[in-house]
Structure 1
Amino acid sequence: MYRHVFWDLGGTLVDTYPQLDEAFVGVVRAHGGEVSLDQVAKLTRRSTGAAVAELSRGFGIDGAEFERANRELKALWRQNPAPVMPGARELLADIAAAGGLNLVVTHRDRASALSLVEGLGLGVDDLVSTSDGHPRKPDPAMYRVLLERHGLAAADCLAVGDRPIDAEAAHAAGIEAAMLESAAAPVDDDAEHSVDTLDGLRVLLGLG
């Protein structure tokens, strides 16, 4: 059984993908192109940067336009956050009630991440972002920072994410991983566990 959870944010605790996919489809269509939400979803599930690069190259659109659409979406989320993943609030609360910590490890800049966490009322104990000066995943630095800061044993922890780099970074810090799989864009990863919903994590955490 695991006690503490290291969470990815976008796509794991917060359902950011649908609006991001729609924003990128909108950029392509504004230039007379045509791309489906499913096609974009397969790219964004790899990474936002990969989606920008692929769409920019494929449709001859300056990548800055996709970046601007992404920034505008993040600004919108400050007042109207993306929806929380089903079961996330309840699971976070139950982990805390059982004496565990909920720790967020994200590429999202700190202001954007905090606006989502606070706007959605998510019970998070600590958050580390690349904007704190840490390298991006799959580098394990952010996981190691939180392990040390809270005096945790890696064996007591589970890392939950939605992209292969989440599992890769966690493993490099000695933490086992669970992948929240997306029907829109299944991924190949090395995570020890795979779930379709956050409630699927409960048995791993001894929460029923």
Structure 2
Amino acid sequence: MTSMIWDLGGTLMDTYPDVDRTLAGVVHDEVTDAAIMEVARLTRISSSHAISTLAERYGKPKAELRDAYEALEDQWEQQAPPLVDGALQVMEAIRESGGLNLVATHRDRGSATVLVDSLGLPVDDMVCAPDGFPRKPDPAMNLELLRRHSLDPADCCAVGDRPGDVAAAEAAGIRGYLLVTPGIPLGEPGVKRIESLRELLES
């Protein structure tokens, strides 16, 4: 198996249930399954898109939604969200085959490091956008990881849970996989979709 560039939240960590329920709770008095699904369709694009859309749709201040999201992130530093099913098994298979597990994330380094360490993820290196890199879909973080480890893009894959993750990978010449939530349409035609990280063990 080749080296892998991973997104963190939503790809290695199962953050979406908490995010969807939290944002739904800001705009709805009762958090129903329908309310959670409404939010889920927005968060799969991006959290900022979800916050902006919900604020406009329900007449809520963006700051109220953003504060709820940031409070949730603080909570994760005390108790990390669960791992996405198959994450550890795929990462261990990559390491056993001589590949590297690399992370490109929008999270700040302190928060990302706490989460990676608390979950025991075998991460070999990590690039964080707040360190001075543009956010995905810009390929800069992926290119930096390739440069640091002298990797050929053809020998790497990348997986993320949003179209921007795949776009950033492909712009760096890396084959990208989009981890999708069943029932939520996402991504452009031709994008390689997977519904479970375990599918990567077969690729």
So what's the TM-score if we normalise by structure 1?
Answer: 0.92
The whole-number CA distance in structure 2 between the counterparts of 1:114 and 1:70 is 19
Q: Is the CA contact 1:108–1:131 (under 8 Å) kept in the aligned structure 2?
A: yes
What does 1:1-208 align with in structure 2 at a 5 Å threshold? Answer: 3-29=2-28, 36-189=35-188, 192-204=191-203
Q: What letter corresponds to residue 167 of structure 2 in structure 1?
A: E
Contact 2:109 2:128 in 1 (8 A): yes
Unaligned runs of 5+ in 2: none
CA distance in 2, matches of 1:146, 1:33: 40
Report the 3-state secondary structure (helix = DSSP H, G, I; strand = E; otherwise coil) of the residue aligned with 2:93.
helix
CA distance, structure 2, for counterparts of residue 123 and residue 20 of structure 1: 25
Shift of 1:109: 1.8
- TM-superposition CA deviations, 1:160-183 (whole Å, max 9, x none): 011111111111111111111111
> What is the CA–CA distance in structure 2 between the aligned matches of 1:84 and 1:33, rounded to whole Å?
24
Maintained 8 Å contact 1:14/1:82? yes
Equivalent-residue separation in structure 1 for 2:158 and 2:90 (angstroms): 14
Q: Which runs of 4+ in 1 moved over 6 A?
A: 32-35
Q: Which amino acid aligns with 2:93?
A: D
The AA in structure 2 aligned to 1:181 is V
Q: Deviations over 1:119-143 (max 9, x none)?
A: 1111111111111110011110000
Offset at 1:184? Answer: 4.3
- Which amino acid in structure 1 is aligned with residue 43 of structure 2? T
Number of aligned residues: 202
Which secondary structure state, in structure 2, belongs to the residue aligned with residue 144 of structure 1?
helix
Please tell me whether the aligned partners of residues 160 and 178 of structure 2 are also in contact (alpha carbons under 8 angstroms). Answer: yes
Asked whether the equivalents of residues 28 and 35 of structure 2 are also in contact (C-alpha less than 8 Å), the reply is no
State the alpha-carbon separation in 1 of the partners of residues 189 and 2 from structure 2. Answer: 21
Shift of 1:191: 5.9
- Residue ranges of structure 1 left out of the alignment (5+ in a row): none
Q: Secondary structure at the match of 1:36?
A: helix
Root-mean-square deviation (CA), in Å? 1.7
